[in-house]
Every structure is written in structure tokens, then in C-alpha cells.
Structure 1
Amino acid sequence: MGNVILKKDFKKTIFNILKLPLYILSSLIPKKSNLIVLGSSKGQHFADNSKYLYLYLKDIEEKKVNELDFYWITKNKELANKYSSDKRFIYGYTLKGMYVLLRARIAILTHSIEDLPSYLMGRKKIIQLWHGTPLKKIGYDADSWNERGKIKNSLKKAINKLFPYMDYMKCNYLVVASDQVKDSFETAFKISKDKMITLGQPRNDLFEEGKVVDAESRLAGYQKIISWLPTHRGFSDYTIVDLLKDYKFNEAKINEFLKKKKYLLVIKPHFVEKGELSKYLKGSSNILVYDEADPYPLLTKSEILITDYSSIFFDYMLTDRKIIFAPFDYEFYTKKVANLYYDYKDIVCGDICLDWEEICDHLDSNGENSTKYKSIKRIFNKYDFGNCERVYEFIKKI
């Protein structure tokens, strides 16, 4: 597996090096001062912080108060077709897409420079919104950097320096949710703290009370929506199905329990595991596999979040709703998959369950959120809402 990945990385590197003339050309093209482009998820999905900033820009454009010219650029043709009625949502590999990208002065990302065609990103101000406050180690802190060894890491850094469009973490500014998380981002991105701007995450504006959110019709008609969002186990062979098989997930029994209570359990897998999970489950009436890329509309409708090592719970705390932590494979995950920035026991602030039977026992437990819950919420979120507006005002100033 490791050798296959290395071969793919080598071929990709050579192919990307050949794009240098295009990057140089993109650096020479004059930029339009108020033109920005947005993208996410390597150009494959309309989701995350960039999505909600884009929707905010659309909203204020209708009110004729938007001072920015903006476009969503996707690399996914199916997605471009889906949103073809939106003239600001364009396929990157068209003349219009390339023209807009070349002329834009500012690029907004959530995952990496590859959210947009990176070789056309010359001389842009890059604002990295990222896709959450990290719990597991990311970027230069991730285990992959340690596993490669000093020589390979030095070579990788040299390539990034010579070919900036190949630098996964490249950005001029990094938007964070809290001052307290800057230490983690500083080492992960190799970016100074003065380039980190505490503005909050645009996607979290969705949790503001009174917001009207479109969600799947299949979520309607239940007493409670319970959402399980497990963390992807990276390149390990351990999958979401194993988290069911190995930890007492009796589908028929759990479905009957949910049915009696009029609860719906919604499982949001990582997109690479969706097919395997759908094959494993029998199609129970009160268990749903959520197949949308964006989980945030789901979370607005959820009374309970079940998660393990996903930092999505930092965001969900803004709802003040119940969180169940399910670190079934803690030892395996922290030793074989990813290290964490924080001691897990220090930051979890809800029921900790070690199998599915325990989860079912805790679904109906009530009580006020603990002092710890409120403290962790504020440590990791400086602001509750108004994040899109703060990011918009920042963009106008740079």
C-alpha cells in the first residue's frame, strides 16, 4: 500500500512540475482588485466554510450591499451542471473559469491550494478558512511528515519552495475560531501568528437561532434526530463498518429501539466509506446513511451528536445540545492513525461510551450542560455567530 502511494505521489509531482510555465503566466496576468474566487474539498464538493461565505455573499449581493465580485470555482463537472442556474458557480476548466481564476486577486480555500486549479494561482492573496479547529494533528504536524524521514521531508519542502502551487498548506492568511488554537495552526501550517485572524468559522453561522435551513425531507417526522459522525481512519484498514461489527451494533435490535422511541439515527460516513457502509446495513427504517457532502444542515436538525475524534464537536457546542463521545478504538486510533493536539480526557465534555449498547443507554439521559462543556465551548469558539460578516469585512481591507 505504501509503495503504491509513493509511486502515485512521484507521478503527480512530475506532472505538477511541468505546470510551472502556467503558474508563471498566471503571476503575470493583471488582477482585478475586488474579484475573489472560492473553492473547497479539492474542487469536488460545494461544502464547508467557503460554501457558507459564498452563500452570504450571494445574500448581500441581492441586497445590493456587496462590494466584491465573486465566483465559486469547481473541478467537478457534475456539480457545475447541478448549479448551472447560478451564473456565479462555474466549472474551472472552461475559458470563463480560467479567465476568472487568472484575474482574481483573492482566493478563499478550506482544505488546500488544490481546492482550485493551483497552477493558476500565481500572485494571489490566499485566505485559508480551513475546515475546522483541529483535534488530530494536521499538516506539518501530521504523522506522514515523521514517517517520511528527514531527507524526504527536506526534498518535499524544497519542491514546495520552488513550485509554490504544490505547497498543500500555502496561504497568506489563516482564519481561526479562537486565539487559543493558534499554537496548533502555527506548527501545522508553518505560518506566523500575525497572519492568523480570529474571525470564527462561516459555517457555524448556520447554528444561529432562527436560521432557516434546508435539510433532507427524510429527516422529518421523528421525535429526535441522532447523528453519528465518526472520524475516517486514514490509510488504515479499519473502517466505519468495523466500528459497527466490533462494538455491539445489533442493527435489528437498535432499529427496534429507535422505532419505539420515534428516533432516527443518521450516519454520516467519510465519502470513501459510503458504499461499504450502505452495503453492510440492511436498510432499516430508523437508520439512515447521510450521503450529502455537507453535514451542517444535518447538524442543525440533530438533537444529539455522537462522535469520536472529530473536531466537529467544537462547532456543535454552539447549539448547546447533547454530545456523546464514542472513542471505541482510542488506543488503536492514537497509536496507529493519528496523534492528537490535546489530551482527550481534558476536552471531552459529555457521556463517554465504549460500545453501541452504552450509547443506547445514554440517549435519553438529560441534564444541564456541565461547567466544563461551557468552558470548552468558549475556549474553542471566540464568537458564536456573525462569522461570515467578519470574514467579509476582513477581505475588503486586504
Structure 2
Amino acid sequence: MSICISDALNEPYFICKVSLNQNPETLARTFSSVATQLLEKVKSDKRLTEAYRMEVEFDNYEKVVEFRVSLKTTAWYDVFLQPMDRLEAIKIAKKYTENVMQQFLPEPTPNKKNNNKELEDFNAFDVCYTLKKTGNCNCNSKKWTHPKFLCKDSVETKDARKKICAFYIPDKLLIESLSNKVCDPDGYLFALRRDLFRMFLLVPTKHMENEDLVKLTDFWKFLLIKQQQLSFYLVAFNFGTWESELRNDPNVLECHAHANLYFNEDSWNNAKTVANIPRMDICNTPGPNYLRKNCEELKVYRLNEAYCEYLNGENTKKDDIISKLCEDPMEEYFEKCLQEWSEENSGEHADSNN
């Protein structure tokens, strides 16, 4: 089939839609192909690979799936908007940030006080040091826990040493009723997240990175079956620094692959019945809002600077700056900058008219 991927000119996304009206075998191959081509699209410019996120959103009513790669907004600005006319670039970036800010309200400040004993016990969870370091331990200590799943595959560190991956799933978060056997070398494990989000983690037992995972046809076959069973509406994979910031060891070059599965309230209630994990009753929030955070970075690290550069306008006549910005004021901050700039340069501007 022909795969059409949108360009990220007006929003920081590469998007591709896939019809669900295909047999499972063909659909899994299509998903693998789309994911592979989206990765290649990102790699077309090295700056885009710094941090990005691939999301796969299911619309079972319309029988369509949308693959969407969300780019780091500062990289998007540098690659796609920076070469444009500066005012046009500012307009596009500002319109995008406004849309996101209006759509997603700020997240409430979390309450650090928590009287839930189960959470207090969980926060004290710690893995045996010897097990994490070597992959083997016979200490039988009750002080340290020994999770059923801990990746023992070798990974490389920044200083070219070898160590075990040591990615693990706490036993109380492992959803065994949905998972393959922990010892299955080609299996997949379901787990709750440590925080109280309506989300599952889907983790391959074999060590690999997210880039390898999304290219596997067998992975998509497994995921499509589970999507029918659990009705999660979104699957997300992080790449680059958005993936590496969650590493157990910051010196390791690789991250153990994992997908984030998002649920709405109805599908979460269904998943509770299937998984039968009491902890799910206190997982009531939908998950972190990365889009808003990404927009805030764009405003701080690119838009504010672009405003100032445009106002200074080394290659633009100051009369043109004033007339253009007055015709199309960008926002309160921009108008304030314009007013301050006009006041500071009013004498110079008056002289130029004489």
C-alpha cells in the first residue's frame, strides 16, 4: 500500500493515517512499515533526532489509526521555521502554542503528602544491589527485593565498558495475567507505572531499544490483539533524550524498550476487570501532558528570542517594524516589547522623519 506522511511545516508533527480495514497479518506489516518510514523521516535532519515521541492513536469508530511523531518544538523551529521570514515563523509558532495551551490546561500541582500505606511501602521498594550489578544473587535477604523480571543482557556505557541492562519491573506492578512468561525470550510483559496514571507499560523480555521494537511485525501482531482485548486508545514510544532521561543508569548508552499504553476511564474499568490488580483502583489520572511542556520550551527558548531579534531588526527598517507589528500584534509580551522599544527610540524615529 502507498504510505503518505505529512510534512511538519505548520505543526511539529509527522502524521500518517492507516485504515484498520485489513486482516491482522497485513495490518501488522503495515504498522511496521509506517513506523520504519517515520523514523527515517526524523533522521532526515540530525537536529530532529535529539528528542521525539511516536504516538499511535486508535479510532475504532472510524476504523483508522493515526501514527504521529511529535518533534521537540525547538528542533522543529530550527529546521522548518528558522529559514522562513522571521515574522511568518513567529506567527506559525505562536498559533501552534496558542492552540495547545487552550486545549490543555496546566496540570495541578501534585500533593506530596500521601497517606496511602501501599504507596509508602512501594516508594521504599529497592532491588538487591548484587542482582542489579551482576544479574545473579542467592542472598535470600528479606531486606532487598529480587524482582521476577530484570534484564540481564549486556549493554555498553559511555566509557566503553560493558554492564548488564538491569531494567526491571517491580513484582507488585507486573500484570502476570496479561503477560507472557518472564523467562520467554521473545515475550512481552505488562506492568503498571510507578506513578498513579491510567497507563500500562508494555515491555519486551528481550533487550532492545524502542527503535528496534517499533519495526517488529510480531510486536504489532501482539499489540493489536491486546488492543482489541483492553481497548487502550493510544500507544506511545519515546526516543532520544526523552527516552534516555528515564534510564536507571545515566552512563548507559541504551534504554530497554517499552511502550506506554493510555486508557480513558471506560477502557480503564474494563482493564481493571481483566488485570485484577487492586492498585489500579487508585490510578485515576490520565497521564502527563508532554505537549504543553513542549510548547513552554518553544516559547522560552525560541519565540521570546525571535520577538527580540525581530524588534531589533538589523536588516529591517524601523518604520516597517512598527507598521507591521501594529497591524498584527502578536501577544501582550510582544506588544509590551514594541511599546518599550518605541519609547526608547522615539527621538531617533522623530529625527529620521525630519
TM-score (norm 2): 0.24
Higher relative helix content? 1
TM-score (norm 1): 0.22
